[in-house]
Amino acid sequence: MLLEGFGTILWLLNLAMLILALVALGFAAFAREDAYRAADKQSKMFWLILLGVTVAVNLFVPMLFLQIAGLVATIVFLVDVRPALQQVSGGGRRGGSSSDGPYGPYNGGR
């Protein structure tokens, strides 16, 4: 019974890594090529290949070491590359400063 629960947990973990890699691959595919150069990151083709291999490994090669390496690449893309691409492309926040709240600028109670 314990092994069945462990197998289910591994299956769910594999599914979560696959979904995360697919989301990152989608973000990488829809970003502009010049944004990668402007953000001083690796090329779009590099990230498409790396994330595509990650998706393939998660689908076809049940080797946990390779899946974890792909997970690291996916996390690097989502945490470092994608925000840089959004900043260069003008995505994300539409103007304003970092102290702006949902109803305008925050002035510290003044």
pLDDT digits (tens, 9 = 90+) for 31-57: 999 999 999 999 999 999 999 999 999
Element (H, E) at 105: strand 104-105
% of the chain at pLDDT higher than 70: 79
What's the rounded mean pLDDT across residues 62-69?
89
Report which DSSP code applies to 7: H
CA-nearest of 55, 63, 60 to 22 is: 55
What's the rounded mean pLDDT across residues 5-11?
83
**Spatial distance between the Cα atoms of 24 and 78, rounded to a whole number of angstroms:** 6
Question: Structure pTM?
Answer: 0.77
Report which DSSP code applies to 100: E
Residue 77 tokens, joined: 């893309």
Element (H, E) at 80: none
